[in-house]
Amino acid sequence: MTSALATVPCSACGRALSLETEGLAWCSCGKASRVWRFRPVREAARPPAPVLAGTPCAYHAGNAASTTCLRCGSFVCNLCATPVGGSTYCTACFERLHASGELRELRVRIPRPQSWALALSLIAMVPYVALVAAPIVVWLGVRAIRNRHETTAREDGLFAYLAIAGLLTTLGLVLTGILLFELVTGPGGRP
């Protein structure tokens, strides 16, 4: 695996640049690069998983189990064991968790309900629309707050979004309230 990385392409011209030595490497295009070489964690270097005293794998009866699935507890061999973020699952559980989006390590799309809340709060400024939009804005806001650990780790401004959305929705509700009050009591508060 390391031999595959004996050279890397030069970022300027694409020619092979040696990774054999650390420090400054000069490419034939005249560009210099600072180079660091790492030692990848290879499967071979890891300690072998303990064999569970002749227990067969739940999916491959001919293979000895090396570990258990964290979710369902079934014995699995090295072929079936799927390591994800420090935990090991069997193939079936991995597929199930992956499909349901429960594996945080594999999530690649983090929703931003705060954007929808802000957009909807702008629409809520239209009279009477706030009556429908406000509960949805609140629901989106709650979702955004529940999901805040995912978003605030990656971007700022979540609470600014929510504050503006809340302010606009409140404004829309107040406006709608005034219009409804005038509708019920007549202009100038006289029925």
Distance from C-alpha of 99 to C-alpha of 187, rounded to nearest angstrom: 57
Asked if 44 is part of the footprint of another protein (rule: CB under 8 A), the reply reads no
**Quick check: 16 binds another protein (CB under 8 A)?**
no
Among 55, 57, 111, 139, the residue binding another protein under the rule CB under 8 A is 111
> What is the spatial distance between Cα 82 and Cα 168, in angstroms, rounded to a whole number?
48
Q: How far does Cα 187 stand from its chain's mean position?
A: 53
Query: Does residue 77 bind another protein (CB under 8 A)?
Result: no
To which residue do tokens 């695996």 refer? 1
Decide: is 185 part of the binding site for another protein (CB under 8 A).
no
Cβ contacts of 28 within 8 Å, gap of 6 or more: 13, 15
What residues numbered 138-177 form the site for another protein, per CB under 8 A? 151-155
- The site for another protein (CB under 8 A) is made up of 1-2, 4-5, 8, 10-12, 17, 19, 22-25, 31-41, 105, 107-112, 115-116, 151-155
